[in-house]
Amino acid sequence: MEPVDQQLLRLYSYDFWANNQIWTSLRTDPDFPGCDEAINYYSHIAGTQEVWHARIQGRSTEGLEVWPNKELAQAHKTLKTYSPKWARLIKANNSALDRPISYHNSQGEPFDTRLSDILHHIVIHGQHHRAQIARLLRKAGLSPPPTDFIFFCRAN
């Protein structure tokens, strides 16, 4: 069995790949009914990665939004920026993935959560919103890209 840090690195490679699949689809059909909502979800995926990365690093999240109003290109740029940051963070913490991270949620409530749990949450959270985007694409009569993990495995 792969060590947890290697599994997480693979999951974050998948997450970046899946986000790119969605970005390509949204960029290809930019005016479908529901596109604004889909971009809002995509922007949310990017915003939450910014917020969680700051929390893990012990930095202030002031000025960061979990529901930012980003254009598609800006959200994609954010996700591209954070992909290598996640890889560096995972590698730097490979022997401390069970350490607690102290942070405050968006409502200001304090929490302590294991780093590995937060890292898993971020990927699962992104998949949830990619599924919402896929639903919007289908509702508009478009075919969403396959973003299931198995498609990533087959492609890589």
Domain boundaries, the chain: 4-155
Q: What is the chain's pLDDT, residue by residue, as a tens digit (156 residues)?
A: 778 889 999 999 999 999 999 999 999 988 899 999 999 999 999 999 999 999 999 999 999 999 999 999 999 999 999 999 999 999 999 999 999 999 999 999 999 999 999 999 999 999 999 999 999 999 999 999 999 999 999 998
- What's the pTM value of the predicted model, to 2 decimals? 0.95
Per the DSSP assignment, residues forming a β-bridge with 113 are 101
The Cα 61–Cα 41 span in angstroms is 20
Note the CATH number of domain 4-155.
Answer: 1.20.120.450
Count Cβ atoms below 10 Å from residue 63 Cβ, excluding itself: 7
**Is 128 annotated in some ligand binding site?**
no
